[in-house]
Structures are given as C-alpha cells and as structure tokens.
Amino acid sequence: MYAVILAGGGGTRLWPLSRPDRPKPFLPLLGERTLLRATFERVVPALLGPGDVVVVTDRRYVSLVLDELPELDRAQVLGEPVGRNTAAAIAYAAAAIERSPDDVMLVLPADHLVADQEGFRAVLRDAATVAAGGPPGTGSGPLVTLGIAPTGPETGYGYIVAAGRRPGVTGALDVARFVEKPSVDAALALLAGPAPVAWNAGIFAWRRDAIRAALATHAPDIEAAIKAAVGAGPADPAALDAAYATLRATSIDYAVMEPASRAGGVAMLRADVGWSDLGSWAALRDALVAGARAAGEPAGAVGFGARLDRGSESTLVMGGARLVVTIGLRDTIVVDTPDALLVCAADRSQEVRAIAEELARAREEDR
Amino acid sequence: MYAVILAGGGGTRLWPLSRPDRPKPFLPLLGERTLLRATFERVVPALLGPGDVVVVTDRRYVSLVLDELPELDRAQVLGEPVGRNTAAAIAYAAAAIERSPDDVMLVLPADHLVADQEGFRAVLRDAATVAAGGPPGTGSGPLVTLGIAPTGPETGYGYIVAAGRRPGVTGALDVARFVEKPSVDAALALLAGPAPVAWNAGIFAWRRDAIRAALATHAPDIEAAIKAAVGAGPADPAALDAAYATLRATSIDYAVMEPASRAGGVAMLRADVGWSDLGSWAALRDALVAGARAAGEPAGAVGFGARLDRGSESTLVMGGARLVVTIGLRDTIVVDTPDALLVCAADRSQEVRAIAEELARAREEDR
C-alpha cells in the first residue's frame, strides 16, 4: 500500500490567506502544522512508512513540499508543469511511481481536515481491503471512494448514490452513480430518495492496475499522454511539458469515477470521521467551533493569532502579526494578512472567491 | 468676539485609531482634515480672523496644533501641563488671553462634527448676541450654551432643561437646570416632561467678564489657582505646573453651568446643525451614513482608505495602509491600524473604551 497526496495549487476561496505563492496545502489553517503536514502525519507512521508516500504538486511548489516533508526524497515529489486537475495528477502518479500492479494506492487531498485520525486510518484500511479485492494480476479490484454523511443539501460537493451492500468488508456499498454539484432541489431529492447517499470526499483507494485500466478505458487520451511522457524517463521535464500542454483539465470524478460507476466497478465506504474539505472560511469556522466544543473550550470566537474577544458568537478570527480585538460579532469571518484584511458574513463566505478573482484581474490589468 | 478651541488629549473611545501620541482632535476622522482643522475652518475666516482664535491643549500637543494650524502664533496656543478637564482649561484661557472684559468668548471643542457649517455660524452669532446682553462692564451677560435636539434617551450626554423664552433673540431660552448623564429612565422622564429639553454640546458663548465672575463665584479654588499662575506671567511654566498640580479635574458643566443655572444666569440656543460629538465609533458611523445619504452616495459601507464592499449595511470601515474587503456585514465597525485591528458590533462600540483601558493597563504591567 502506498499513498499519493495531491497538493495542488490554485484556489481563491481562502483569500486573503491563500495566495498563488502559498496555496492552501501550505497554510497552517488548524494550528502549527500546514494542512500538507497534517495529511502526511495522518498516515505516517501509523499506516505507512515515509517511503510509501508520493506527493503530486505544481512544479513551483516542489521545494515547499520538501521543506514541509523533509522525510521525503526528491524522487517522491512529482512536479507537474501546470495544474490539470485530479485526473492528470492521478494518472501521472499511477504511471510514474514504480509499484507492483496489485499494490493499493491511496489518494489523499492535501487540504482537508479529518478530526478522527484513528477512525480515518481504520476506514483507509477497510478501503484498501475492498480495493485489493481481485486476484493478483487480474486488474479487477474495484475503485473505492470514501463517502461522507451529508449534513444538508450542499451544492458544492459531488454526491455518491449507493446501490446495495457489497459482500466481504462490513459497510462497503456498491456505487450506482455519481452526481456532480447538483442544484439545491436536486440535492434535496437525492437526500430524500430511497438509496443511501454520501458526499464524495475525493479520497480513494484502488489497485495500481485497476486505476490504470480504468483510465485507459474511460480517459484514454489522458492515459496515453501521460504514458508517453513518463516513458521518456522521469528526468525529462520537456516531455512532461509537452504532454501537459495537450492534457485536458478534468477531475478524476468526471473522467473515471462516473463512467466506471455506470459499469459497476466502484465501491464506497462511509467515513464518519469529522471530515471537512475546508472549502470556505465558513467551513473552517465550523470545523474549529466543533473542535473547540469537543475539547470543552470556548467556541464563541475561534481562530489563531493574538486575539481578544468580548462576547462574539460563531466567529472565526485568523489573526496575523497584529492584535485583533473583536466585540459582539456573530457569524463573522475576520482574516488579517499583511497586505489585505477580510471581514465577511459567514453565510456569504462563498463570495470570497469572486472577490479574489476580481482583484487578480484588476492586478493583471494594472500591468 | 474670539474663540477658544479645546483640543484636549486622552480619550480611549476611538481606540485603536486614537492613541496617547495622537488623540482624537488630531485624527482625520471625516476625510482629509483633522477634526481640529475642521473646527478652526468652521469659524475662520467666515466668522473670525485667525488672530481671534486660541487653542488650549496639553503641552505635549502644542507642536501638533501649530502643525495643523500654521496661521496661529505660538502665543495663541496655551499648553496645559496636564489635562484637568474643561473647567481648568476655560479658566486658563479666560485669564491668560488679554481681551476686553465685554468681549464675547466662544468655546468650541476640537473633536466634534458639525454638518451644517452656515447654520452653525448663524447660531454662534445669535449666541454671541445673547451673551453680550449686559451693558459693558457690568459682568451681567448670561452664560450661553448650545442645545442639541435629542434623538433618544442617550445616557452619555448632559441634558439641559429649559425654563421659558428669553426676550430679545428668537429661539433663546432660559435654562432651568442641567442634568448630567442621566440613567435611561431619568432620560426618558426628561424627554417626556413638559419643559423643552436638549443635549448639552459643550459649546458655549459668554462675555469674558461673565465667565470669570461665574468661576470666581462657583469654583473659586480653580479661578484663584489659575489667577496666581497666570499672574506670574505667561512665560513661567513652573507657576503653571504648580497650579495644575493642585487643580481638581472637573467639567465646566459641573463646576459652573449647573450652579449658575440654578441662579438663573444661563441661556440656551437650539442648534439643529447636524452635530455629533463623535463619541464612539457608532456615532462616527451614524454621521458618515447621514452625510452619504444627504449627498446621494451609497451608505452601506462608509469610511476611508482602500476599501471594497459587497452588500454591507450600516457598516463603518476605517481603512489604513492595506486593502479592506467587507462582505455582507451589518451594523459593524472595522478599524484597521498598523498594530491593532478592531471589529466590533456597532451597538457595542461603547465597550471599546474598556478594552483600550484594559490593554493600557496590561502594557503598564509589562514594564
């Protein structure tokens, strides 16, 4: 078993803290450690040795990764010339890292929160057992995805619709289909429907041969381009540049999981482990409030940095170098950085992305 | 006629912008100009020449005053060794500045807002006419105070209770009594009562001899100490130090206006001129929102500095060097300074003072 950590760049939803030169996996959003480091320590050493971890990232961030994870050799960090979403990153890792075809490959996004580490590792072990399913060399193991119990009709997630129980591992389900980012009405209909439904966390387990076969079947252009580049040898960045220049940017969910699920080749395991994709400031606020409550700590104004609060509720303060004083706020996000300050109603934190993009465009036009 | 501008220090209600080294009169709270400069330009040149203005301030701020008001000679700025509230400052100015006894002295706090400048000057002219009332040399002119129409049972102001109309100047009333900072219930009773009631703005007009006589009658200790110090000559700071060391700190309202009103020697003129004492961040917010509405400008997020807002309401943003982005806030105060950030519910902005004092104490203890 080995783990591929996806530490992509981009992302404007946590502006002004996440910036092009230090994207979300490299931010210490939950305390001292960066999200990347926390992701690594979630599986090393309790589940894997450091030699069994690979990180895929933008070529610009390879040195950031090695700074954060000094346990890794340079060869364990795959630098993409440009981000092409998860299908390309996973195809690259599956092709470039030499492992036995029936080795199980875990895929872990580097920018999520998991509150229950022990429970998470137990689910990963079960997922690996399910994924290893087929006899060696057959390439017939299922693609396994972790499913999160929905807490509401969120429109920002993909939904997994399960079919029925799968024999063997307790709790494993066959997946009937995926529904990508539904409308609120469609999400409500899914939640009200008869079939078990879960959010797709983007955390996967599969045999190396299974994902390569699935890519060859459902996204042959991606698999072929990656194969050609990697065949030229890992030390040939020009071949990688050429391949990535032609690769389409698409998620593994769209490119592989959806068609594979229709063919009956996908399984799901529930992972009720305090997961959050930290996809907005409100999501981080919710995670920190839940953590504070679980620890019996004050949860009115959560966050980091030099802070002083009087009577705020459900408020997140990401402090910086300066003292941040908050008085009587409610459902508010405060993010303090050296060159920009965000103060935002929590229920509108999805709009941060639009602001960040607007500012980036304005900067471009100023050039 | 001449004007005494009171530019005292202290004040923690506008933390973190006001600090001991740059108190409220020296802040550009309403745009480019400081409040002191705006106070000066409210009367010069339309009502007075620059030679008819005196500023009383803490000795530490004399050079700040001269920077802001280069029209003034050094002799027009009276530096107190230490702040002893308005009774001492007014007694000092009345004694030290050589003017004819029947000259009318206007007293103008340097940290208020007046929206209607022309209307304000008209009220000052009327106040001076009322104040000049007595025949020259008699010292019998009334002490005149400006009264602001109350908008609610505010507990932070002194209340003026009028008796009846005063002959001569239209709108002038005799004052029956002052009520300093009443409870909400007492304020409501005053507002519901039969007598006309107004807030005391701390803006006065009186003959020089009238205020000196009133001080000698109602606050003889203050008048005597100041007289002794000033008698030693304006160039003797040691005498002033000695006098101020013994002076009690009390307001002119407590020391003189209250007892004088009981003796029938106080008159009031209504001043409905868009006045605010800017006594809290919420008061500044209200003033800027009113100004924006009057100018037909967007009033959702008012303030200064590099700002970007989406859909906030009744929100004040005092920006600094950095970009401040606000999204969907309501009744919120944001004050950004190089070393501290305040984010506060507007209806709790009175608590800023306690926070600032707490921080100052903590700093003291760290020494």
Q: Going from the N-terminus, what domains does chain A have, and what CATH number goes with each?
A: 2-276 (3.90.550.10), 281-366 (no CATH)
Instruction: Quote the pLDDT of residue B134.
Output: 63
Of the candidates A191, A175, A173, A172, the one whose C-alpha atom is nearest the C-alpha of residue A183 is A191
CA distance A82 to B9: 58
Chain center to CA of B38: 13
Is the predicted pLDDT of residue B330 greater than 90, yes or no?
A: yes
Instruction: Quote the pLDDT of residue A170.
Output: 83
What are B346-356's pLDDT values in tens digits?
999 999 999 99
Mean local confidence (pLDDT), B293-310: 93
Is residue A16 reached through a cis peptide bond, with omega within 30 degrees of 0 on the bond before it? yes
Contact by Cβ (8 Å): B210, B131: yes
Which residue among A327, A338, A351 sits closest to B345, beta carbon to beta carbon?
A327
User: Does B344 touch chain A if contact means CB atoms closer than 8 Å?
Assistant: yes
What are A287-304's pLDDT values in tens digits?
999 989 999 999 999 999
Contact by Cβ (8 Å): B218, B104: no
User: Does A336 touch chain B if contact means CB atoms closer than 8 Å?
Assistant: yes
Is the predicted pLDDT of residue B45 greater than 90, yes or no?
A: yes
Q: In what order do the strands lie in the sheet with B323-327?
A: A301-304, A315-318, A332-336, A340-345, B323-327, B307-310
Mean local confidence (pLDDT), B280-290: 93
Tokens of B170: 């239209």
CA distance A221 to B79: 82
Most confidently modeled range among A66-70, A262-266, B132-136, B362-366: A66-70
Of the candidates B314, B324, B328, the one whose C-alpha atom is nearest the C-alpha of residue B286 is B314
Is the predicted pLDDT of residue A327 greater than 60, yes or no?
A: yes
Q: Which residue has the tokens 């009133």?
A: B214
Can you list the alpha helix ranges (DSSP code H) found in chain B?
35-43, 62-68, 85-96, 117-131, 184-192, 208-218, 220-231, 237-246, 252, 258-262, 281-294, 352-366
User: Does B194 touch chain A if contact means CB atoms closer than 8 Å?
Assistant: no
Mean local confidence (pLDDT), A28-50: 95
Is the predicted pLDDT of residue B66 greater than 80, yes or no?
A: yes
The counts of H helices and E strands in chain A are 12, 17
Mean local confidence (pLDDT), A249-268: 93
* Contact across the interface for B343 and A327, Cβ inside 8 Å: yes
Contact by Cβ (8 Å): B334, A343: yes
- Encode burial over A66-94: b for 16+ CB neighbours within 10 A, e otherwise: bebbeebeeebbbbbbebbbbbbbbbbbb
What are B156-185's pLDDT values in tens digits?
889 999 998 888 788 899 999 999 889 999
Is the predicted pLDDT of residue B235 greater than 70, yes or no?
A: no
User: Does A316 touch chain B if contact means CB atoms closer than 8 Å?
Assistant: no
Which residue among B311, B323, B351 sits closest to A340, beta carbon to beta carbon?
B323
Mean local confidence (pLDDT), A281-288: 94
* Contact across the interface for A310 and B348, Cβ inside 8 Å: yes
User: Looking at beta carbons, which residues of chain B come within 8 Å of A300?
Assistant: none
* Contact across the interface for B325 and A349, Cβ inside 8 Å: no
CA distance A10 to A14: 10
* Contact across the interface for B327 and A344, Cβ inside 8 Å: yes
- The phi and psi torsions of B117 (rounded to 5 degrees) equal -65, -45
* Contact across the interface for B341 and A341, Cβ inside 8 Å: yes
The residues that bridge with A174 in the sheet, in sequence order, are A267
Q: Give the residue from chain B lying closest to A354, CA to CA.
A: B310
Q: Which residue has the tokens 């707490």?
A: B358
Mean local confidence (pLDDT), B33-53: 97
Mean local confidence (pLDDT), B150-155: 90
Q: What percent of chain B has pLDDT over 70?
A: 97
Tokens of A244: 């990535």
Cβ neighbours for A273, distance < 8 A, ≥ 6 positions apart: A114, A115, A116, A119, A120, A123
Average per-residue pLDDT in chain A? 92
Cβ neighbours for A317, distance < 8 A, ≥ 6 positions apart: A301, A302, A303, A304, A305, A307, A309, A324, A326, A334, A336
Instruction: Quote the pLDDT of residue A306.
Output: 92
SS3 of B122-155: HHHHHHHHHHCCCCCCCCCCCEEEEEECCCCCCC
Angle (deg, nearest 10), helices B220-231 and B237-246: 170
Mean local confidence (pLDDT), A139-153: 90
Instruction: Quote the pLDDT of residue A21.
Output: 85
Q: Which of A7-21, A126-140, B233-247 has the lowest mean pLDDT?
A: A126-140
Tokens of B74: 């050094």
Average per-residue pLDDT in chain B? 92
ipTM more than 0.90? no
In 3-state terms, what secondary structure has residue B248? coil
CA distance A344 to A238: 44
Instruction: Quote the pLDDT of residue B266.
Output: 95
CA distance B261 to B265: 5
* pTM (global) more than 0.90: no
Q: What percent of chain A has pLDDT over 90?
A: 79
Burial of A21 (0-12, 13-18, 19+ CB in 10 A): exposed
Burial of B254 (0-12, 13-18, 19+ CB in 10 A): middle
Instruction: Quote the pLDDT of residue A235.
Output: 56
Instruction: Quote the pLDDT of residue A246.
Output: 93
In terms of DSSP bridges, do strands B104-109 and B2-7 run parallel, antiparallel, or are they unpaired? parallel
For residue A11, what pLDDT band results from cuts at 50, 70 and 90?
A: confident
User: Looking at beta carbons, which residues of chain A come within 8 Å of B359?
Assistant: 308, 323
